[in-house]
Amino acid sequence: MGIRGNFQAMNSLRTSAIFKVAFFHPYFRFGGVEKTNIRLAKYFIEHGYSVEFVSLGYTEHFVKEMDEIGISKVQLKATRTFFAIPQLKAYIKSQIQEAKKQGKRFVLISCQNFANLCTVLATPMDCRNGKCKNFKLILSERLHPAEFQYSGKGKKGKIILRLMRLLYKKADAVVANSRETAEEIERITGSPCRYIYNPTLTGDLQKLAEQEVNQEWLKKDCKNPVVISVGRLSKEKGFDILIKAFSRIQKELDARLVIIGEGEERASLEELAESLGIKDKVWMPGYDENPYKYVSKADVFVLSSFFEGLPNTLIEALAVGTGCVATRCPSGPSEILLDGQGGLLVDVGDTEGLAMAIKEALKDDGAMQEKQRRAMEALHRFTPQEAGEKYLELINE
């Protein structure tokens, strides 16, 4: 038997030991966590695993894709994550019992800190801390704990951090999506936390990036440099900082700013652009399921966030050939941009520094292209193949 045959046989043995892999994410809406889970699930299914999603609700946007891939769905009948604990507990018990009947193991991957805490509480006492041979609980962190500092959840955040110290040690494994977040989780909980980067890059990305855009600013014959960003219009994304920084470069460059996304901060951001006298140079078309067609045609992508987990938009911008500027926010940008070797990094909230970095990125001197080349060479870290295999290793340990 050749090397390929040995690999296939080993993979078959690993698969046969698992009854099911389930993902618990309370609110399956639009977002990076949902996309990441779908990509991981697709990889698992392609390698012979049965995958199920558990949630309080699903948007139609993702349901069609889940059905096409072969992901089964369970919907818990509760309005809040905490109130879903009894149903989640019943679900976990039933899956463990079914796994026992088949002599296999049920694996549950929970996503995000509050959902993780609820999942531990829903796990039977005799199945915590690795006591149950037929069950494995993996807690997945997708945001850096700095979110509590910037999102106005100070009191709630302190409670969650205390509970993390108490409950995370009762899981079989904890995994984060960046090295920086993993190190912070270890510091907080005193328990080991490994990191596996998001499976961000998919094969259809380039095809999506090539689609036409009607906006004149993004046509090939437009002479105005275009700065672009993508994300929910919320405070933690720092779009107000970006708009202020963009207004400063207008003295030297007649540039344009495009922000793809929707959210509660739209009105205040539009008012800010108008007060700075740049309303006619800022375009915010709202949410688009294919932001890549815009990003690929811009001159520079900017991530101005106060905190992230591992910003998929930054990875995707590099992949479609757009140079990047980002804040050194916790966490992810520094790792993605190779500590500044793959793009420009500025301090969080530094309006002047961001303006200077954008001007630097728009210079046609070859330096930005070299940074971009280095970053693109390291993009294999964010493929479903690399992330999926590392998750399967964790599942089968």
19-33, 141-155, 186-200, 357-371 — which is least confidently predicted?
141-155
Residue 359: the pLDDT is 95
78-92, 134-148, 160-174, 233-247 — which is least confidently predicted?
134-148
* Per-residue pLDDT band at 364 (split at 50, 70, 90): confident
Q: What does the pLDDT look like over 259-272, one tens digit per residue?
A: 999 999 999 999 99
List the structure tokens of 169: 């040690």
Residue 324: the pLDDT is 97
Chain-centroid distance of CA 101 in Å reads: 36
pLDDT at 211 over 80: yes
CA-based nearest residue to 376, from 218, 205, 207: 205
Spatial strand order of the sheet with 256-260 comes to: 282-286, 256-260, 226-230, 300-303, 323-327, 344-346
Residue 202: the pLDDT is 84
Q: How many CB atoms lie within 10 A of CB 8?
A: 12
Q: What does the pLDDT look like over 120-136, one tens digit per residue?
A: 999 998 888 878 889 99
Query: Do the domains spanning 3-195 and 205-381 agree at the CATH topology level?
Result: yes
Residue 131: the pLDDT is 82
Please report, for the chain, the start and end positions of each structural domain, with discontinuous segments joined by +: 3-195, 205-381
36-40, 144-148, 331-335, 386-390 — which is least confidently predicted?
144-148
CATH 3.40.50.1370 assigned to 205-381: no
Share of the chain above pLDDT 90, in %: 74
Q: Give pairs for 366-369: CB < 8 Å, separation 24+.
A: 368/300, 368/323, 368/344, 369/323
Parallel, antiparallel, or unpaired: how do β-strands 18-24 and 51-55 relate?
parallel
Residues in the chain: 397
Q: What does the pLDDT look like over 274-329, one tens digit per residue?
A: 999 999 999 999 999 899 999 999 999 999 999 998 999 999 999 999 999 999 99
CATH 3.40.50.2300 assigned to 3-195: no
Q: Is-contact 278 262, C-beta < 8 A?
A: no
* Per-residue pLDDT band at 366 (split at 50, 70, 90): confident
Residue 42: the pLDDT is 95
Residue 44: the pLDDT is 96
* Mean pLDDT, residues 199-208 taken together: 90
Q: What does the pLDDT look like over 58-74, one tens digit per residue?
A: 877 788 888 999 999 99
